[in-house]
Structure 1
Amino acid sequence: MASILRQIVAGPRLRHPEAGLDLCYVTDNIIATSGPSTNYPQRAYRTPLDDLVSFLDAKHGKDWAIWEFRAEGTGYPDEEVYGRIHHYPWPDHHPPPFALIPPMMGSMRNWLQGIEPQDKPQSPEGKRVMVVHCKAGKGRSGTAVCSYLISQEGWKIEDALQRFTERRMRARFGAGVSIPSQLRWVRYVDRWTNQMGKKYVERPVEILELHVWGLRDGVKTAVEGFEDKGKKIKCFHLFHHSERTDVDSGQSTPQESSSSSGEDSNSPKEPLSAITNSQTPSSTLPPRSTTAGAIPTSEASDDTNPKHLSAYIFRPSERVILPTSDVNIVFERRSKASYKGWAMVTSVAHVWFNAYFEGGDKHDSGVFEAEWEALDGIKGTTKKGVRSLERLQVVWRYPSASELDASKSTDVQEAPVQGQAILFPQPGEPIQEDKPDDWHLHETHKENVPHLAPRSQENQPPVAQDASRPDDSPALGQLKRDERVDVDNNKESASENVPQEGIAQSSDQGKESQKVDSSVTQAQAQAEPQPADKPADDKNQQ
């Protein structure tokens, strides 16, 4: 029965013909597999960890190591795999924080090429293998594998994506890496390797405006980003209706087909904010991003047939500054049933981008553009529901040091902060990585549900409780338990030290308290009229 469940769950993915497990050899030294488990019920439909370890021991001896990317928990302790495991977690169905890419690629290179400290035993060259897994061994694993092939093996981006799809997926079951934002990150890695000299600078990003064409009614818009070193996703701002400006002047806007980055000859040369007379940060619009790669569109655009679209500008009333360059824009639309009043999600979409690769390497500000077709759907699929918008522009910039410090206020123009340069590790250089706090499985992020309670918003869904609150910490919970134990012990000791004559005193005090209670009851009866039989019942009870 368990074997049938595993075959059903791993249906779109190829199984290893010899081992009968949900794994594949992407190359001779790279293995991709689904997340193994040791506990039920996951063990019934996932790869059993002991079977995977037995296969690796039989085929590769001690020359294998695991790289896992599960922010929701590994699913097994490190001791079950001899401690040969490396953790680079990020949430499911999302791209990784780009700050994870350099150390992750460096650790993979050091292992596969045998670049280890002198005090560790060396393996024959080319004998080591690397095992990567996330939950299904598809999106996050494919992003990491393709990034390694591009940055360390010199593969072309098309060849790396095609190889992972051919080895991991069954025919006619789609691509191995299919989420648009994860594909965008693979293109970032290609530019990081071939054009930027493997240099990345992590800088805070401020979101100035959102320009949206064709926005439907009732669509909530939010700005999200990573926190806790990329393990969690946090909502930094949920736009209120008062922060939205309708700039639709009745003019016709051509239906356009732009690239995922925004470089397109069909894009309007004048920003939306230029229509208004108000002085806004977008009055001098910064350069647009120039990421390569076109967005697939369902229909070919025709500039000769203009389409009338509504146009809106979202300007946050307070500064929205994200701590990293990774930005996520979320759209959600809910409809209420007239007969029940229940809210049902009818449209869900989001899009990730990194400001450094969207012009931030050369400029201090920029504009990211995306079409509706380029947005991510629910749970890593292309299903987004009802079309809620046509096109999006995000106006961003790098803030200065004084702007990052809310306590400082100055009108002097300052240069943006330089950020932290994350260099690619040199061969043999020690690489820091975080150990998992808890290997048990847990939920890290609900799709499009804000994690930060914003000020009163319209049509706000129930806000999820932040798991990082101090009230929920294990240490505080243990402290509260210790306090309860101390209180109970004090009560017991106090009761033991009470003198015997205290019993008589307590009985006298009980009589006095009864007299006080009866007087209070009579006063209440005089103040409030009651039924005739009520006072009699009270006297009988007393």
Structure 2
Amino acid sequence: MASLLRQIVAGPRARHPEAGLDLCYVTDNIIATSGPSGTYPQLAYRNPLSQLVKFLDDKHGSDWAIWEFRAEGTGYPDSEVYGRVKHYPWPDHHPPPFALIPLIMGSMRNWLKGTDAEGKEGKEGKRVVVVHCKAGKGRSGTVSCSYLISEEGWSVEDALKRFTERRMRPGFGAGVSIPSQLRWVGYVDRWTKHGKRYIERPVEVVEVHVWGLRDGVKVAVEGFVDEGRTIKNFHTFSKEERDLVRGDIKKSNGFADVVTEAMKGKQAGNGTKENSDEPSISEKVMTAAQNSNDPDRLIGSKGGDVVFRPSEPLVIPTSDLNIDFERRNKASYGFTMVTSVAHVWFNTYFEGNGPENGGNPDDSGVFEIEWDAMDGIKGSSRKGTRAFDKMAVVWKTPRGRQSSIVINEPSVDEEVKQTQPADWRGDAAPSTGMDKDLGLRAATPSSASVSRASSVRSHKGETNDGHGPDDEREGVKPYGAEGENEIKAPDSVLPLSKDLPGPTHEVAKGDDPST
């Protein structure tokens, strides 16, 4: 019965024919496995830890070590694997804090090359790294592909293809399928090609532009804390921070040109309009997008076009930024119905062209994405009903904040720091945002407020042409289809219109929700 349960849980992932365990050899030196367990009830449907250790001992003697990434806890104490385990945990279904990548890559390289401080008796080429998360797919695949790219010289395409071929059963989709994790693999490729230099800086969210926003949508800004083990909600936008953009402009030169104008910061005088009849900058941005000649555009199909502006400076401590959307509709008996959930991660060092600028990223920029390219529920492609059509985040590096932190990959023979593990039993696991799903929820004051009123309705007496103090946009560089401040769209993002640059990339199908 236990063996049958393990086969059902493993589902689309390939099992090792000799070991009979849910694991695979990505290469001769990298093993990916689902998270083992030595306690019930997980022991009934996960890899038994004792069997995994026995297999590794028989095949590799003392030349194996584990790298684990489970913010929810490993499910076993370190002593059960001879203390031969490195901890770099972060939440399931999400990309890693990029600051962890140099540490993970350096520590894996040092172990495999036999140059680490522990066990120098290991022979180069004989050692193996065992990577695992929960299912040994999303997080483990991101790290495995990152190592092949950064340390073995593989291309992004070949690394992703190899992991899928070795980890997944034929016809069951890609090994790494979550859009933000795919974006991170692309970041690793750029990091590798430009000297493996990463700059960690805080980021300020200036505005969030949303096209086609539906009713009852809650928009939140999140980031990593606690060394990446926890995702923190730094801000949820209120109705008072929301402007429904109306009006029209007589002539449109395309969406990108209008965003360039909008991002210039100050208008004439003290930030007010020279002509009161002239449409506001936000009105121009939104209307230009609606008037785009792109035949595939979805803008304006339903909902409204909205700009969210935080009432106070909204600063995230690291360059990793997550924008989270949840759509709720009012239900009876004190409940609301969650009808859609989606989010997207991006890193402003890479979106600011840091690698290409010799480690000196732009101080501001714009990140854009369409609804269909967002991350779905628990690593799947499901997002529920459409909450919006397109989104753009205007960000900048705040002035007067903490200085930048330079993070390079540790050198050979250098002792590599690891982060604190989560409680292996999972008893004290922090809230990580992994449990978001569709369905009924108990109504709270905040959710009720969102659900009862339209998310795109302006309050009585509100104006749509104010932009707050001048210094809100001071230092924000212009953005557009031309000019030195152009930002290349990440690989997994579709360009918002044919006026905007950037390659297209079809989001992988066949997502495994158990990653």
Superposed pair shares fold, TM > 0.5:
yes
What's the CA shift string for 1:392-441, capped at 9, x where partnerless?
A: 1000111122xx4xxxxxxxxxxxx5400001111011111134252112
54 and 251 in structure 1: CA distance in 2 versus 1, 3 angstrom threshold: farther
User: Which residue in 2 is equivalent to 1:445?
Assistant: 432
Counterpart-to-counterpart distance in 2, 1:218 and 1:305 = 20
- Structure 2: where are the runs of 5+ without partners? 273-279, 283-292, 355-360, 437-443, 451-515
SS in 1 for 2:191: helix
Instruction: Kindly indicate whether residue 335 of structure 2 is the aligned counterpart of residue 342 of structure 1.
Output: yes
Q: CA deviation at 1:363?
A: 1.2
User: Which residue in 2 is equivalent to 1:459?
Assistant: 448
Q: CA deviation at 1:268?
A: 3.1
Higher helix fraction (1 or 2): 1
Say if 1:272 and 1:313, in contact at 8 Å, map to a contact too: no
Counterpart-to-counterpart distance in 2, 1:163 and 1:197 = 25
Say if 1:240 and 1:458, in contact at 8 Å, map to a contact too: no
Letter in 2 for 1:227: V
Instruction: Kindly indicate whether residue 99 of structure 2 is the aligned counterpart of residue 106 of structure 1.
Output: no
Letter in 2 for 1:125: E
Aligned residue runs from structure 1 range 26-425, under 5 A: 26-117=26-117, 120-194=119-193, 196-249=194-247, 267-271=255-259, 274=262, 279=271, 302=295, 310-337=304-331, 340-359=333-352, 361=354, 362-401=361-400, 404=401, 418-425=403-410
Say if 2:353 and 2:362, in contact at 8 Å, map to a contact too: yes
304 and 355 in structure 1: CA distance in 2 versus 1, 3 angstrom threshold: closer
Q: CA deviation at 1:311?
A: 1.5
437 and 159 in structure 1: CA distance in 2 versus 1, 3 angstrom threshold: closer
370 and 107 in structure 1: CA distance in 2 versus 1, 3 angstrom threshold: same
Letter in 1 for 2:212: G
Q: CA deviation at 1:249?
A: 2.0
Q: CA deviation at 1:304?
A: 9.3
What's the CA shift string for 1:35-92, capped at 9, x where partnerless?
A: 0001100000000000000000011111000000001111100000001100000000
What's the CA shift string for 1:510-535, capped at 9, x where partnerless?
A: xxxxxxxxxxxxxxxxxxxxxxxxxx
Aligned residue runs from structure 1 range 518-537, under 5 A: none
Q: Percent identity, aligned pairs only?
A: 62
User: Which residue in 2 is equivalent to 1:292?
Assistant: none
More displaced stretch, 428-437 vs 14-23: 428-437
The structure whose RCO (Cα within 8 Å, separation 6+) is larger is: 2
Instruction: Kindly indicate whether residue 413 of structure 2 is the aligned counterpart of residue 428 of structure 1.
Output: yes
Say if 1:22 and 1:47, in contact at 8 Å, map to a contact too: yes
Say if 2:211 and 2:300, in contact at 8 Å, map to a contact too: no
SS in 2 for 1:98: coil
User: Which residue in 1 is equivalent to 2:12?
Assistant: 12
Q: CA deviation at 1:459?
A: 3.1
Say if 1:69 and 1:88, in contact at 8 Å, map to a contact too: yes
What's the CA shift string for 1:342-371, capped at 9, x where partnerless?
A: 311101110000000001623111111111
360 and 61 in structure 1: CA distance in 2 versus 1, 3 angstrom threshold: same
Say if 2:114 and 2:120, in contact at 8 Å, map to a contact too: no
Higher alpha-carbon Rg: 1
Aligned residue runs from structure 1 range 470-485, under 5 A: none
235 and 460 in structure 1: CA distance in 2 versus 1, 3 angstrom threshold: farther
Q: CA deviation at 1:171?
A: 1.0
208 and 174 in structure 1: CA distance in 2 versus 1, 3 angstrom threshold: same
Say if 2:242 and 2:308, in contact at 8 Å, map to a contact too: yes
Counterpart-to-counterpart distance in 1, 2:334 and 2:248 = 35
Say if 1:252 and 1:308, in contact at 8 Å, map to a contact too: no
141 and 301 in structure 1: CA distance in 2 versus 1, 3 angstrom threshold: farther
Say if 2:34 and 2:134, in contact at 8 Å, map to a contact too: yes
Say if 2:64 and 2:129, in contact at 8 Å, map to a contact too: yes
Q: What is the TM-score with the length of structure 1 in the denominator?
A: 0.72
SS in 1 for 2:256: coil
Counterpart-to-counterpart distance in 2, 1:186 and 1:266 = 32
More displaced stretch, 49-58 vs 426-435: 426-435
431 and 305 in structure 1: CA distance in 2 versus 1, 3 angstrom threshold: closer
Counterpart-to-counterpart distance in 2, 1:76 and 1:273 = 56
Q: CA deviation at 1:251?
A: 6.7
Counterpart-to-counterpart distance in 1, 2:311 and 2:35 = 43
Counterpart-to-counterpart distance in 2, 1:305 and 1:375 = 15
305 and 330 in structure 1: CA distance in 2 versus 1, 3 angstrom threshold: closer
Q: CA deviation at 1:253?
A: 12
User: Which residue in 2 is equivalent to 1:473?
Assistant: none
447 and 431 in structure 1: CA distance in 2 versus 1, 3 angstrom threshold: closer
Q: What is the TM-score with the length of structure 2 in the denominator?
A: 0.75
